[in-house]
Amino acid sequence: MIDKYIEKICAEKNISKEEVEKKIEKKIEDLDGLISKEGAIFIIANSLGVELNRSALITDKIIPGMKNININLRILNMYDTIEFNKEENKGRVKSLWCANNNIKTRVVLWNEVIDSIEDIKEGDIISIQNAYAKENRNNSVEIHCSNYSTITKTEDESIPPFEELKNKSSNYKQVNISQIKEENQKVQIKANIVNIFPIKFFEICPECNKRAKLVQDKFQCEVHGEVKPKIAYVITTILDDGTETIRATFFREQVCKLIGKTDEEIVNLKEDIDAITYELETIKGDLVEVKANSKLNSFTNQIEVNVNNINKNIDIDNEIKNLKEKIITYN
């Protein structure tokens, strides 16, 4: 494909292949190696007035301030659309976590462009046109798509399969909370539960586990239609490891491990607020070890974690011993 691009530039501008290659090398050097050879070709073609298929523009690094970004990415995660209404600023925002051979990044969709991905799902490859790059509060660079951007489903054999991209970051890394600065990190942390919020119960589809909505006294799943829902639940806590605090969310199976009760026992407590409050109070202060995925809360713009596994069987005496050894080493 690169050779074909060069041939087109040579043919339309009547210049030699060697001259085009020199321009490519200089452009890559001028941009400190932050753009691939293919990306440099598109920039040169644009400056010469040569129209190329811009859907395959791929850079080795997205940097803040980049505009008119055109790139192909595979969607690894899709997050719920959030509606906001802050004073005169009203709209919608949706986040995707995407990757290709060179980049793994968050893609933020604003307002009308969200509607263009209704039929797109996790695992699909998308072609993003006319986007821009922006640095968030956590110093991570992300791609933003406005109403001037377009997103379409496409094919791109150069992008690795879904599972391969997902597995590249499948291992959990032991870290302090203060080190969790980006979303989609797989982290393992050991911390105390310093605060715990009321448990939230909600209905889900028994087939796909998606949220079931009450419509005219009947629960509806957007995929399976009318269903007899199951009860799901979620607990949000604040974890503190001495370096910082972080909001951590536990879902069904992990809630059972956290409280030490079965799914049936927890569901039976749904109408007994006093009993469930007591159960939650008993675990406040507990030391836990969790494996979790970090995420960016689009509403608060803060990094949080979703817990995938929890271990409460921690040897406290051993933890105290290790802490003493660290203090001695430090002194």
Over residues 197-247, the pLDDT tens digits come to 999 999 988 887 788 888 888 998 887 888 899 999 999 999 999 999 999
Which residue segments constitute the domains of the chain, with CATH numbers given? 2-163 (2.40.50.140), 173-330 (2.40.50.140)
Q: What percent of the chain has pLDDT over 70?
A: 86
CA dihedral of 234, 236, 240, 246, whole degrees rounded to 10? 110
Over residues 287-323, the pLDDT tens digits come to 999 999 898 887 788 999 999 889 888 776 776 666 6
pLDDT(75) > 90: yes
Residue 324 banded pLDDT, cuts 50, 70, 90:
low
Average per-residue pLDDT in the chain?
A: 84
Instruction: Give Cβ neighbours of residue 134 (< 8 Å, ≥ 6 apart).
Output: 64, 141, 142, 144
Instruction: Give CA–CA dist 31/48, Å, rounded.
Output: 18
Which one has a higher pLDDT value, 140 or 118? 118
User: Token pair of 167, please?
Assistant: 């597995």
Residue 54 banded pLDDT, cuts 50, 70, 90:
very low
CA angle 85, 89, 92 (to 5 degrees): 60
Tell me which residue has tokens 């970051």.
169
pLDDT value for 255: 93
pLDDT value for 55: 43
pLDDT value for 196: 94
Residue 73 banded pLDDT, cuts 50, 70, 90:
very high
pLDDT value for 210: 82
Tell me which residue has tokens 């870290």.
175
Q: What percent of the chain has pLDDT over 90?
A: 33
pLDDT value for 49: 84
Least confident residue range of 16-20, 55-59, 176-180, 202-206: 55-59
**Residue 128 identity (one-letter amino acid):** I
Q: If we measure between CA atoms, which residue out of 26, 121, 31, 95 comes closest to residue 295?
A: 95
Largest CA distance in the chain: 81
CA angle 45, 46, 52 (to 5 degrees): 60
Over residues 152-164, the pLDDT tens digits come to 999 988 899 988 8
Residue 57 banded pLDDT, cuts 50, 70, 90:
very low
Which one has a higher pLDDT value, 234 or 324? 234
Least confident residue range of 13-17, 19-23, 60-64, 89-93: 60-64
pLDDT value for 1: 57
User: For the residues 114-132, what does the mean pLDDT come to?
Assistant: 91
Instruction: Give Cβ neighbours of residue 142 (< 8 Å, ≥ 6 apart).
Output: 62, 105, 106, 107, 108, 133, 134, 135, 136
Which one has a higher pLDDT value, 40 or 96? 96
User: Token pair of 106, please?
Assistant: 């968050």
pLDDT value for 136: 74
Residue 33 banded pLDDT, cuts 50, 70, 90:
low
pLDDT value for 56: 41
155 HSE (CA, 13 A, CB side):
1
Over residues 145-154, the pLDDT tens digits come to 998 889 999 9
pLDDT value for 48: 86
pLDDT(53) > 60: no
